[in-house]
C-alpha cells in the first residue's frame, strides 16, 4: 500500500508539473501574439486576448506582464484614435484613466517590471497633454519619475529614453520646469541607438519613425553648430524609408506628414 500511495503522489506531482509547464508555454505564446499584434496596431484584438488570458492567469509576475501590455494597448489605441479625431478629448482621457489603472496594477504585482513603470507614466503624460499645458506641466515630474524608474530597472529601455528626450525638449527650463535642450538630444540619440540594435536583430518588424523625427525636432530647437545638418539627415532617412515601404499604415502616414513639416522648419 505504501508503494502504491507513493506512486500515486509521484503521478500527481508529475501531472501538476506538466500542467504548470503547459501554462507557462501557453502564456508565452499569447504574449508573443500580443506583441506581434501591437506592432500592427491591432489593439482591439490585443485587448481581447489580454482580458481572456487574465481570466485564467494567477501568478503575480504573469499577470503583471498582461496588465502592462493592457496599459500599452489602451494608450497606443487612444493616441491613434484621438489623433485621427475619432475620440474626443474627454473620451481619450477616460480611456487613458483605464490604461493608468492597468499600469498601476502591473506595478503592484511586479515592481521590478520596467515596462510596468514606463507605460503607467506614459498614460499619465498623454492624459496631461490632452488636458492642456498647465496639466502637462503638473504631470511632467511624475512622468519623468516613472521613465527614470523604468531605466533603473532596465538601462536599455528604449521607450523610456525616448520619452525623457521628448520631455526635456517640450518643457520649459529655468525655475518653471526641468526642460534641457542638451539632455533632450542625449536621450533622443540613445533611444535611436537602442532601437536600431533591436531592429538589426529582428526584434521589431518596423522602425519607430517618431524616434528619428523627435530627435530631429530636438536638434532644430537646440540649434547648435551641426544640429541642422544632423536633423536634415534624420528627416531624409525617414522619408526614404517611408518611400521604400510603399503602402503606409496610419502611424506611418502621420510620420510622413510630420517629416514634411520638420523639413520646412530647416
**According to the model, what pLDDT value does residue 20 have?**
43
CATH topology of domain 15-155: 1.25.40
Q: Tell me how far apart the alpha carbons of residues 57 and 59 are, in angstroms, rounded to a whole number.
A: 6
115: which 3 cell numbers? 515596462
Q: With contact defined as beta carbons under 8 Å apart, do 46 and 69 qualify?
A: yes
SS3 of the chain = CHHHHHHHHHHHHHHHHHHHHHHHHHHHHHHHHHHHHHHCCCHHHHHHHHHHHHCCCCCHHHHHHHHHHHHHHHHHHHHHHHHCCCCCHHHHHHHHHHHHHHHHHHHHHCCCCHHHHHHHHHHHHHHHHHHCHHHHHHHHHHHHHHHHHHHHHCCCCHHHHHHHHHHHHHCCCCCCCCCCHHHHHHHHHHHHHHHHHHHHCCCCCCCCHHHHHHHHHHHHHHCCCCHHHHHHHHHHHHHHHHHHHCCCCHHHHHHHHHHHHHHHHC
**According to the model, what pLDDT value does residue 4 have?**
44
Distances (CA, A) of 209 to 3, 155, 157, 162: 65, 21, 17, 11
**According to the model, what pLDDT value does residue 25 have?**
56
Q: Where are the domains of the chain?
A: 15-155, 181-266
- Supply the Cα-derived Rg of the chain in whole angstroms: 22
**According to the model, what pLDDT value does residue 246 have?**
83
Q: Tell me how far apart the alpha carbons of residues 122 and 248 are, in angstroms, rounded to a whole number.
A: 25
**According to the model, what pLDDT value does residue 50 have?**
97
With cell 474626443, the residue in question is 88
Q: What is the mean pLDDT of each run of 10 residues along the chain (266 residues)?
A: 48 42 69 94 96 94 98 97 94 97 98 98 94 80 97 98 96 90 98 97 92 98 97 98 91 95 94
Half-sphere exposure of 60 (CA within 13 A, CB side): 8
Amino acid at each position: 500500500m505504501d508503494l502504491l500511495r507513493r506512486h500515486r503522489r509521484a503521478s500527481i506531482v508529475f501531472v501538476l508539473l506538466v500542467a504548470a509547464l503547459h501554462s507557462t508555454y501557453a502564456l508565452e505564446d499569447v504574449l508573443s501574439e500580443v506583441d506581434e499584434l501591437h506592432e500592427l496596431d491591432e489593439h482591439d484584438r490585443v485587448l481581447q486576448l489580454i482580458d481572456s488570458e487574465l481570466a485564467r492567469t494567477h501568478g503575480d509576475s504573469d499577470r503583471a506582464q498582461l496588465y502592462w501590455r493592457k496599459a500599452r494597448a489602451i494608450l497606443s489605441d487612444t493616441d491613434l484614435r484621438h489623433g485621427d479625431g475619432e475620440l474626443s478629448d474627454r473620451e481619450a482621457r477616460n480611456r487613458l484613466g483605464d490604461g493608468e489603472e492597468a499600469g498601476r496594477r502591473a506595478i503592484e504585482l511586479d515592481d521590478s517590471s520596467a515596462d510596468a513603470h514606463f507605460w503607467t507614466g506614459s498614460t499619465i503624460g498623454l492624459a496631461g497633454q490632452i488636458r492642456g499645458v498647465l496639466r502637462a506641466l503638473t504631470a511632467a515630474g511624475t512622468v519623468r519619475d516613472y521613465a527614470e524608474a523604468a531605466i533603473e530597472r532596465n538601462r536599455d529601455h528604449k521607450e523610456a529614453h525616448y520619452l525623457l528626450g521628448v520631455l526635456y525638449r517640450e518643457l520649459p527650463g529655468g525655475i518653471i520646469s526641468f526642460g534641457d535642450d542638451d539632455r533632450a538630444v542625449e536621450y533622443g540619440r540613445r533611444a535611436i541607438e537602442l532601437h536600431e540594435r533591436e531592429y538589426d536583430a529582428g526584434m521589431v518588424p518596423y522602425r519607430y519613425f517618431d524616434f528619428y523625427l523627435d530627435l530631429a525636432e530636438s536638434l532644430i530647437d537646440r540649434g547648435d553648430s551641426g544640429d541642422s545638418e544632423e536633423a536634415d539627415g534624420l528627416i531624409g532617412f525617414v522619408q526614404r524609408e517611408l518611400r521604400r515601404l510603399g503602402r503606409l499604415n496610419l502611424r506611418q502616414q502621420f510620420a510622413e506628414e510630420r517629416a514634411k513639416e520638420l523639413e520646412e522648419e530647416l
